[in-house]
Amino acid sequence: MTTALLTHADCLTHETPGGHPEQVARLEHVLHALAGLDLKRVTAPVAAEDDILRVHPAQYLTELRRELPVEGRKQLDADTWMSPGSLDAAFRAAGAAVRAVDMVLGGEVGNAFCATRPPGHHAETDTPMGFCLFGNAALAAKHALDHHGLKRVAVVDFDVHHGNGTQDLLWDEKRALVITSQQMPLWPGTGHPEEDGAHGNVMNLPLPPESDGAAMRELYSEQVFPRLRAFKPELLILSAGFDAHTDDPLAQLHWRTEDFRWLTAELCRLAQELCQGRIVSTLEGGYDLNALADAAKAHVEELIKAAT
């Protein structure tokens, strides 16, 4: 078995203004860092509209298509922009997540990493925000549940910003457990522990500014891993944001590359214990280009170790 890397050149056509943190260079740096690794390289397909409609209403798609600029860039909110290639990129990012689920559950690969953009975990049911257009992790979870008939899927989001979109999209989904760790206080201001889902299926774990990898390791060991063991997921989906890195400009946590490596290795071990090692990971944040590349490479190296 091996690890699949799903990506597409269309994800480089989603352009943001100069100086915007969610830039084309992010994906370029990640792909360069992964270039020498032994991966099954897969062209990310375009997601079917039915896959998008598992989590977003048809009117939302209509509105995004209406907003898509023919040239230049269009601002949707303070942080989120569209360019002529943005929807092509978003459909590829969503398609990568769906195809990764199919490959992992079909036994083609042991696990998978989706190196795509725009990211997804801030996109709410009918609201693009936080650089995100489609909720890729939530979409992957719903595909696994509805199309493949799984009974339990867990999403673990370790991006430094709270995955408000994933929480919103899976709030009423009792078959999904959503676990997120995030710096608090920090944008978007959600992710309080009392936000626990319609069925007690959401677990929010705030981390204080200036806390480090040791605090993260303690939190995951004491709270996340036991909760996953109790839930017994049949598939583990990771929202892999690398902006908790100490070098990241948008937050104040002090994780280092080896902390991301440790967390990935532990989640892989848990997946081996609980769900035959089945993991789908999708790229979220990370805005210092070198830190992003280093941490993403460490993450994928651990996925490769676990798959072999």
Alpha-carbon gap, residue 59 to 88, rounded angstroms: 18
**Considering 8, 56, 122, 299, which one is annotated as catalytic?**
122
126 contacts: CB under 8 Å, gap ≥ 6? 56, 57, 59, 60, 63
Residue 20 falls in the annotated catalytic set: no
Catalytic residues: 122
